[in-house]
Amino acid sequence: MVTSSPSYLCYFVVSVLLLSLPSHSADPDPLQDFCVADFTRASKSDNVFPCKPIEEVTSDDFVFDGAREKGNITDVFGLNVTDGNVLAFPALNTLGVSMNRVNFAPGALNPPHSHPRASEIGIVIEGTILAGFVTTNNVYYSKVLTAGQMFVIPRGLVHFQLNVGHGNALSITAFNSHLPGASKLPLNMFSTTPSIPDQVLTKTFQVDQDVITSIRSKFG
């Protein structure tokens, strides 16, 4: 019988433990101080964008002014989302973080959606917002939040925010990915190209064809 020496056994146990540890990083770890994205050399298949030549990087690259104003609220749901991800703020490339500014008109809804590549944490700056999410076991958690309160949404879970106050509302949300993505359920179902077959939708929602037609018309 062959016996393992204590040192080899120790190495084996440590290796197994390291392999079993989950990764909490949504994006690849950076291999340099920073990598300001250079979209002129990027392709649509890039998982991490190429770096801007270091000699061309300036202090301005590390500042994003896009979230200073709320923007026009023209969304069918009554909100305006200012994305502060790598596509808008190239300095976030490889850093594993991003932020959004979300402005709500009275009664506005950030409809059920999920972020496939990141967990979300947010803080209410103004107004009163009902925030909720649903687990994979169909358990619903929610809370009415006011200015100064924070909320968190686990990665990939369907969630929403609804302005339940009498005036406008504002929240700032952050993600552990430079490009978290957003899969909005209403648009996923009724605004795809090409369209999901009506038979699939009528069976899914257990409704008649005219209901599906009516809903689809509202999303163009």
Average pLDDT over residues 93-98: 94
Q: Which contacts of 51-59 are long-range, i.e. CB under 8 A and separated by 24 or more positions?
A: 51/93, 52/90
The Cα–Cα gap between 151 and 138 comes to: 19
Tell me which fold the domain 39-181 belongs to: Jelly Rolls (2.60.120)
Q: Please state the domain extents for the chain.
A: 39-181, 182-220
Q: Identify the DSSP state of 43.
A: -
Q: Say what the pTM is.
A: 0.83
> How high is the pLDDT of residue 15?
47
> How high is the pLDDT of residue 46?
65
The Cα–Cα gap between 34 and 181 comes to: 22
Residue 2 pLDDT level (bands cut at 50, 70, 90): very low
Tell me how far apart the 2 most distant CA atoms of the chain are, in Å: 78
Collapsed DSSP state (helix, strand, coil) of residue 132:
strand
Looking at the DSSP bridge assignments, the partners of residue 98 are 175
Which DSSP helix (H) or strand (E) runs through 144? strand 140-146
